[in-house]
Amino acid sequence: DTEVTQTPKHLVMGMTNKKSLKCEQHMGHRAMYWYKQKAKKPPELMFVYSYEKLSINESVPSRFSPECPNSSLLNLHLHALQPEDSALYLCASSQVHRGVLDGYTFGSGTRLTVV
Amino acid sequence: GESVGLHLPTLSVQEGDNSIINCAYSNSASDYFIWYKQESGKGPQFIIDIRSNMDKRQGQRVTVLLNKTVKHLSLQIAATQPGDSAVYFCAEDPLGGGADGLTFGKGTHLIIQP
């Protein structure tokens, strides 16, 4: 299995809702990432987990709460979002100590709309 | 031609021609670079990568060139096909070899004209 699987593919939520985005990989990668991508913009790093521990938080607002329950799963819990949080949320994975030319694998993303 | 402004830079080429997409990166210490292709509604798809100790790497119909002196990366696509139409991003890994996450360039929208 060489894929990163994200669910759901689309999500519409109200500003008072609580929802979660899920990401799964079975490549044995021990680093997992959340990115946010607005239309016509590049992906921007949000969080990095290394060996199931949060290693990087790029000053993301607390209404986004990541969780890594095990080495294959990564969640992003959403609460009290704003319309400007509407975006494509991408999950990626990689080896922690990457050898020569070991890359990153991205999922297809969750298209989030906050109404 | 290529246009830069408030919108995503766009490169329009005829089907069958070669295309060159350019990228300037910011961190002179970056050790690892990747080109991604992103089609509408999909996640970034790996195309080709290169380490800082290389200046050229070839794949199937694609070549990446790295000029560390001027911090410039380019992606050459030979004999472009309609399926090559997409947004192309370069990405740099500041430290290389670790779980740091990637920093993406602005992206270029490649349009293949029939």
| A4-40: pLDDT as tens digits | 999 999 999 999 999 999 999 999 999 999 999 999 8
Distance CA(B25)–CA(B103), nearest Å, equals 9
Residue B5 is predicted with a pLDDT of 40
Q: Which of A2, A93, A98, A111 to substitute to test the interface with B, most B CBs within 10 Å?
A: A98
Residues linked to residue A89 through DSSP beta bridges, in sequence order? A36, A110
Q: Do B102 and A45 touch (CB under 8 A)?
A: yes
Is it the case that residue B97 has pLDDT exceeding 80?
no
Residues from chain B contacting residue A24 (CB–CB below 8 Å): none
At B45, the pLDDT band (50, 70, 90 cuts) reads very high
Residues from chain B contacting residue A110 (CB–CB below 8 Å): none
Residues linked to residue A36 through DSSP beta bridges, in sequence order? A44, A89
Is it the case that residue B91 has pLDDT exceeding 80?
yes
Residue A102 is predicted with a pLDDT of 67
Helix or strand (DSSP H, E) at B60: none
Closest CA to B62 of B97, B99, B35: B35
Report the residue from B7, B36, B42 with minimal CB separation from A40. Answer: B7
| pLDDT, chain B, mean | 89
Tokens linked to A36: 């946010």
Tell me the torsion sign for CA atoms B63, A100, B93, B52: negative
| Cβ B32 vs Cβ B97: under 8 Å | yes
A32-83 pLDDT, tens per residue? 999 999 998 999 999 999 999 999 999 999 999 999 999 999 999 999 999 9
Tokens linked to B56: 């050229």
Distance CA(B99)–CA(B50), nearest Å, equals 17
Is it the case that residue B10 has pLDDT exceeding 80?
yes
Tokens linked to B61: 């119909």
Is it the case that residue B11 has pLDDT exceeding 80?
yes
Residues from chain A contacting residue B104 (CB–CB below 8 Å): 42-44
At A95, the pLDDT band (50, 70, 90 cuts) reads confident
Residue B3 is predicted with a pLDDT of 35
Pairing of strands A110-114, A10-13: parallel
Q: How far apart are the first and last CA of chain B?
A: 15
| Cβ B61 vs Cβ B79: under 8 Å | yes
Is it the case that residue B46 has pLDDT exceeding 60?
yes
Report the residue from A35, A41, A48 with minimal CB separation from B99. Answer: A48
Tokens linked to A61: 């607002």
At B8, the pLDDT band (50, 70, 90 cuts) reads confident
Residue A90, exposed/middle/buried by CB under 10 A (0-12, 13-18, 19+)? buried
Q: Looking at the complex, does the CB of residue A54 fall below 8 Å from at least one CB of chain B? A: no
Secondary structure (DSSP) of chain A: ---EEEE-SEEEE-TT-EEEEEEEE-S---EEEEEEE-TTS--EEEEEEETTEEEEE-S--TTEEEEEEETTEEEEEEES--GGG-EEEEEEEE-SS--TT---EE---EEEEE-
Residue A81 is predicted with a pLDDT of 96
